[in-house]
Chains A and B, each alone.
Chain A
């Protein structure tokens, strides 16, 4: 117990300084969220690079939750779909159904180059196309993978906090 308390004292604050929101205009639906954004993450065929960065964005270091963004376990609870990866043949239908299951108002975020334009997987035999071919995309985050700062900046833009 003493060692733990000592470690807490020695470590101090690890969170990065606040990252400013991105300059992009926020989608109209974001205004209705009132500063609290529930996010459902859908992996449509990603290489897991983006997932590592999402985990990092929600870790204590970048702590996206302090800006009102939160990951949830079901699209029924979600305001925002955070889609990663090129849409593969097997995930196209589930992605469409997830989009249908999310209540209005909703925002779709395509995270990473693969989600925006299939990235290095473009033309792959199992790949249908970018996310915007399957569901309407409102926000895009560039990068392969995008750094946590970019994710947090985009999410701050949605929460408005």
Chain B
């Protein structure tokens, strides 16, 4: 057995141990036991993923495990990258869950769902046959649904979010199932090796791609299939939100890359234009919604849509370049997309976990009711700031590195000969630029309004710092962010191998140890030097202030409050007021609903007694696209209910006529 195969065995073994521990351990020690076992499971995932990404192979075929087909697992570098990411997220989230699930989230079901969910995500990228893939996909969906529903007794919104999630994820599952089964039927076998060798007609290939794309894009939270994401991620417990938002959505991208590039071997340009368009729409729509929302976890959920949109944009661009025969650029764009998957996983884990400890300490996710946490939760604030810097894609954060690479790939595709490329690429560059700008505003809002200034509610005032296990989980994620920001060059060989699986014949997209030097095109950037320069500049300015400022006498003065009697929390910016200018600018897209009720005093209509102002920014796609759909389904269901009127005779009649129809149909067709 190779090391990778031992690792697969370890994953399976640890998952079983963790589930048994969740079922058997007494309630008092359950979170600790399950959390440690799941962290070990995640560690095994990292080890296997890193080995696979380093080029070590390993395959397992267990014919007895699944009737008719058997379970077939095989690692290649592409799958290895995704498994390692999922493993790393799982370690941080599992450590965090030891502290987080202690109060009210320690039931057997919720605890057992966690290792199941993690194991499914770790093994999914290794699936090497359609049956195995679908089995693990469904296991992942079911386990995550249990986690989303964990707090359904406490809040009614959880049940609604769970309903949306269950329907969307299973609708996606159905399209993936249809697509892959069609593929397998026409390929004459269900292992991925047989699918790769299959010779399909172009129409069939496009059908397979489109069907799977719908399912995978829905999992990746791409517009307009994203509606479950901003509902389910806020309502799930925070360690589950982190796992879903940082690890599970990535597997949607994995599916598109695996099926589109690897199994189907690329396709016509319009496939990839579609992916690119989906990505661009998701990036813009996601960050716009994030910029105006006031719910911290909903904001992070929309930011996931944005970041996965950027990844899809990179994947689409890579497909376009590969179709046009430009392998260097295709490799660069895909490497940038994969690097962004890794970076996004690091900072989104951190942000969701930090949002969880805020929720834990204050009981609210509403930014308008937070504030002043810097003094009361200094560690969480610092860690959230690290994540926010990365998510805002500003140097020296890690988000900047991958967005820079993506921009380089897009910019260097010009001047292009193909009309599609010449039109799309400048638009894509503009989308990324606008997205990056809005992301800065969004995360300034999240950090500034949520953590700085004065507390706005008693809950925020009485917040206390979270425990060591939760801090350790967040600390790991923050360390990953810093590491990725300073030394992304370490990932270059693994990314190059992963890209080669998808686009054969590419070289490493970048070279250099300290500097990312693009191969094939001119361009280089050194994250380490940028960080060093920023540190030197900051230290220099501080030292200069100290030296030159010391010459003048200093005096302490109170904060300028316009001479009035001190500032209150009511004078602060809120998330609503901070987002208001953006909401005004993008009024046509967002269509906010606001109404003002003015009550006058009885004596005079010129004197105002109270003013009520309400503002909601509904998800417009949900309103315009899904509400009519749901209404139609409901009407159909109502019509169907008339058939079931409770009469046993009628039901027997249905069965009888059903059998007759079937027999007639068989007699006619045979």
Q: Which A residues lie at the B interface, using CB under 8 A?
A: 74-76, 93-95, 97-98, 100-101
Q: Which residues of B contact A (CB under 8 A)?
A: 557-558, 560-564
Give chain B nearest CB distance to A89 CB in angstroms: 14
Cβ of B557 and Cβ of A100 under 8 Å apart? Answer: yes
- Neighbouring A residues of B560 by C-beta, 8 Å: 74-76, 101
Contacts of B564 in A (CB 8 A): 94
- Chain A contacts for B562, CB-based, 8 A: 94
Report the number of A-B residue pairs with Cβ-Cβ less than 8 Å.
18
- Interface SS of A by simple majority: helix
What chain A residues lie within 8 Å of B563 (beta carbons)?
A: 93-95, 97-98, 101
Which residues of chain B have C-beta atoms less than 8 A from A74's C-beta?
Answer: 560
- Pick the contact of B557: A93, A95, A101 (CB < 8 A): A101
Chain B residues within an 8 Å CB radius of A101: 557-558, 560, 563
- Shortest beta-carbon distance from A23 to chain B in Å: 34
Closest CB in chain A relative to B136 CB, distance in Å: 62
CB-nearest residue of chain B relative to A91? B563
- B563: nearest chain-A partner, CB-CB: A94
How far apart sit A75 and B562, CA to CA, in the bound complex (Å)? 9
A93–B561 CA distance with the chains assembled, in angstroms: 12
Q: Which 8 A-B pairs have the closest CB atoms?
A: A94-B563, A97-B563, A101-B560, A98-B563, A76-B560, A101-B557, A100-B557, A74-B560
Q: Identify 18 residue pairs between A and B in the complex whose beta-carbon atoms are under 8 Å apart, listed by A's number.
A: A74-B560, A75-B560, A76-B560, A93-B563, A94-B562, A94-B563, A94-B564, A95-B563, A97-B558, A97-B561, A97-B563, A98-B563, A100-B557, A100-B558, A101-B557, A101-B558, A101-B560, A101-B563
Which of A74, A93, A98, A101 gathers most chain B CB within 10 Å?
A: A101
Residues on B with C-beta less than 8 A from A98 are: 563
A81 CB, nearest partner CB in chain B, Å:
11
A4 to B562, CA, bound (A): 40
How far apart sit A74 and B563, CA to CA, in the bound complex (Å)? 10
CA distance A100 to B555 in the complex (A): 10
Identity of the chain A residue whose Cβ is nearest the Cβ of B553 in the assembled complex = A104
B552 closest partner in A (C-beta) = A104
**Which partner residue on chain A sits nearest B564 by CB separation?**
A94
Q: How far is the CA of A97 from the CA of B560 in the complex (A)?
A: 8
Q: Which residues of A contact B561 (CB under 8 A)?
A: 97
Measured CB to CB, the closest approach of chain B to A40, in angstroms, equals 11
**CB closest residue in chain B, given A100:** B557
Distance, CA A101 to CA B562, complexed state (A): 9
Cβ of A109 to closest chain B Cβ, rounded Å: 18
- On chain B, the residues within 8 Å of A75 by CB distance are 560
Chain B residue numbers with a CB within 8 Å of A94 are 562-564
With both chains docked as a complex, state the minimum distance between the C-beta of A95 and any C-beta of chain B, in angstroms.
7
Separation in Å of the B564 CB from the closest CB of chain A? 7
Q: In chain B, what residue has the closest Cβ to A76? A: B560
Bound-complex Cα distance A35 to B557 (A) = 27
